[in-house]
Amino acid sequence: ASCRRSGGRFRPRPHTSRHARIVADSNLALVLRVDRDAGPKVGGVRGIAPEASASDRRRSKKTNTMGVLSLLLKHPGDLVPLLKVKRMADKAKKLPKEPNLAFCYDMLNKVSRSFAIVIQQLPHELQDAVCIFYLVLRALDTVEDDMSIPDEVKCPELEVFHERIYDKKYVYPCGEKHYKVLMDEYPKVTAVFLSLKKEYRDVIADITKRMGEGMSNFIRREVVTLKDWNEYCHYVAGLVGIGLSNLWASSMLEDKRFADMEDLSNSMGLFLQKTNIIRDYLEDIVEEPAPRMFWPKCVWSKYAKTLDAFQYPENRTKAVHCANHLITNALEHADASLEYMSSLKNVDVFRFCAIPQVMAIATLAECYENGKVFEGVVKIRRGLSARIMLECLDIYDVARMFKTYARAIDAKIAKDDPNANKTRKQLNNVHAKCDDILASDTQGFGKKFDPVMPFVLRLLVLLMTLLYAAYAFRIGGVREAVGIAAPGTGVAVVDKAEMAFSVIAVGAASVFFATGHFF
């Protein structure tokens, strides 16, 4: 939302290419989202500005390619998951034959490729409803996000937008790039919306109404207290979780009681939205024409006089302490998130919900005690995102992953952090909840989520097996060099056994080197 300045002077920044971001995207398309149309921002946020020259684009493409290759050299185990996810992305680009539905899914791919992938996790019964739910909220956010619309015009429009979605002729020129196309061609979205089951239409309209009213409310006021922060996150993300739960219940693919689980559904959204707000500090604070401020003043004012002060290196220690404070607050929702996911029965719905939640706690682990949050947007690497997408198979996998990232945060807690004890307390709660879930795994379902072994260790194991193979095959006089019988003098059966064993060892070591796991 376009919250106003809360004090302090902001240094002018170079204009950046605007990209509408529906905050509800965090609940639907998660932390995985890729903002490919974003312009370059302070701190090196990825993207090419519209005015970039051809040479600049080539240079950026080369830099991105080198970056990907560098990551794959450090994490070769990411290669296979990345290829699998790319296949999923290619599949998501295949459009339905019906023209209006084709427009909706094409637009979905353009405004959020990540969500276009994630939606494939859902049963066919729910895919169209969730796609339209997403696009309706994208359109609502595009209106809210357009700074050229005066507040006195914008607020009433947000408050009646839930009525507009029934109007077959409704268009509202605003936004940029793909978002402008979405708003100009909105009748196509309306056509598909009106073709949905009444139960789905009612859910989408209700959430749109409540979200529009909340957005309008926060245009007029700031996020000052933690109560404000929770309320803001409820409007822009918690409501999405509530809406999704109602869709699950309406589809009969989950228990009807999900329609009444508003507290847990809300916490799912808050966990994701707070993660995004923490991670996107710099992107929001340098926003043009005015900064966007979502960090609660009651927290950041303990560490600085103005929120924009955190971007300067001389304030980095205080800035990190403030981010850690907010991360500790976000972790309060992890228990409810796990509780919600434990209640899901449909495997496809479970995976749709679980993937963003695991990516959220992985992102918090990356952001905790990390000064780079104030230099650019901190993201988990794509390969890890791909692995999470492929390995979230059941609640036991999720519990193990939550424990892994909770341990990662715990290991980074500094003694001088003013919220160290509170952070440990929240992490202990997460561990306890995960242990309860894992204790119920009497059938041994789920698979162990092991962190990938360090690159140096994998390389060492591979080199040792290659040396052993060189010895076994008598390459380069290895035997002579170590004072063992020369080639041809050994027992043939033993030599053949050593050769066979060395081949197996090199094969296993190669798998270990590539994936970080022996099996």
Predicted confidence (pLDDT) per residue in 267-277, tens digit: 999 999 999 99
Cβ atoms of 210 and 240 closer than 8 Å: no
Residue of 183, 141, 177 lying closest to 47 (CA atoms): 177
Q: Tokens representing 51?
A: 């005015």
Known catalytic residue at 57: no
How far apart are the C-alpha atoms of 386 and 82, rounded to whole Å?
Answer: 6
Cβ atoms of 226 and 236 closer than 8 Å: no
pLDDT for 84 beyond 70: yes
Residue 492's pLDDT band, with cuts at 50, 70 and 90, is low
Q: Tokens representing 411?
A: 């290991």
Residue 24's pLDDT band, with cuts at 50, 70 and 90, is very low
pLDDT for 311 beyond 70: yes
Ranges 263-272, 377-386, 502-511, most confident: 263-272
Query: Of 119-133, 197-211, 411-425, which gets the smallest average pLDDT?
Result: 119-133
* Annotated catalytic residue within 186, 232, 405, 449: 232
pLDDT for 45 beyond 60: no
How far apart are the C-alpha atoms of 385 and 32, rounded to whole Å?
Answer: 7
Q: Where are the alpha helices (DSSP H) in 119-150?
A: 124-145
Place of tokens 């699998």: 84
pLDDT for 495 beyond 50: yes
Q: Is 0.85 surpassed by the pTM of this model?
A: no
Q: Tokens representing 14?
A: 């170079």
Q: Is 397 left (phi over 0), alpha (psi -120 to 50) or beta?
A: alpha
Residue of 401, 404, 411, 295 lying closest to 357 (CA atoms): 401
Cβ atoms of 334 and 271 closer than 8 Å: yes
How far apart are the C-alpha atoms of 7 and 307, rounded to whole Å?
Answer: 8
Query: Of 118-132, 371-385, 490-504, which gets the smallest average pLDDT?
Result: 490-504
Residues above pLDDT 90, as percent of the chain: 57
pLDDT for 163 beyond 90: yes
Residue of 200, 268, 218 lying closest to 239 (CA atoms): 268
* Annotated catalytic residue within 352, 368, 374, 513: 352
Residue 201's pLDDT band, with cuts at 50, 70 and 90, is very high
Q: What is the pLDDT of residues 412-448, one digit of tens each?
A: 999 999 999 999 999 999 999 999 999 987 655 444 4
The mean pLDDT value for 4-30 works out to 35
The pLDDT of residue 82: 84
How far apart are the C-alpha atoms of 89 and 134, rounded to whole Å?
Answer: 18
How far apart are the C-alpha atoms of 268 and 250, rounded to whole Å?
Answer: 19
CA geometry: angle 167, 25, 339, nearest 5 deg: 115
Q: What is the pLDDT of residues 127-143, one digit of tens each?
A: 999 999 999 999 999 99
Known catalytic residue at 279: yes
Q: What is the pLDDT of residues 393-410, one digit of tens each?
A: 999 999 999 999 999 999
* Annotated catalytic residue within 292, 382, 387, 458: 292
395 or 381, higher pLDDT: 395
Query: Of 112-126, 157-171, 364-378, which gets the smallest average pLDDT?
Result: 112-126
The pLDDT of residue 63: 56
422 or 487, higher pLDDT: 422
Beta bridge partners of 45: 41
The pLDDT of residue 59: 55
pLDDT for 365 beyond 90: yes
The pLDDT of residue 444: 53
Cβ atoms of 22 and 30 closer than 8 Å: no
The pLDDT of residue 230: 97
Query: Of 12-16, 128-132, 243-247, 368-372, which gets the smallest average pLDDT?
Result: 12-16
At the topology level, CATH places domain 25-439 in: Farnesyl Diphosphate Synthase (1.10.600)
pLDDT for 285 beyond 90: no
pLDDT for 14 beyond 70: no
Known catalytic residue at 292: yes
pLDDT for 1 beyond 70: no
* Annotated catalytic residue within 113, 138, 279, 381: 279
The SS3 of residue 409 is helix
Q: Tokens representing 138?
A: 């994208």
As a whole number, the mean pLDDT across the chain is 82
The domain limits of the chain are: 25-439, 455-515
The pLDDT of residue 62: 53
The pLDDT of residue 67: 61
The pLDDT of residue 76: 74
Q: Where are the alpha helices (DSSP H) in 450-491?
A: 455-472, 478-481
How far apart are the C-alpha atoms of 275 and 26, rounded to whole Å?
Answer: 9
pLDDT for 58 beyond 90: no
pLDDT for 324 beyond 60: yes
How far apart are the C-alpha atoms of 353 and 244, rounded to whole Å?
Answer: 9
236 or 60, higher pLDDT: 236
pLDDT for 46 beyond 70: no
The mean pLDDT value for 159-188 works out to 95
351 or 63, higher pLDDT: 351
How far apart are the C-alpha atoms of 241 and 261, rounded to whole Å?
Answer: 10
Beta bridge partners of 41: 45
The pLDDT of residue 372: 95
63 or 254, higher pLDDT: 254
Known catalytic residue at 458: no
Q: Tokens representing 136?
A: 């309706």
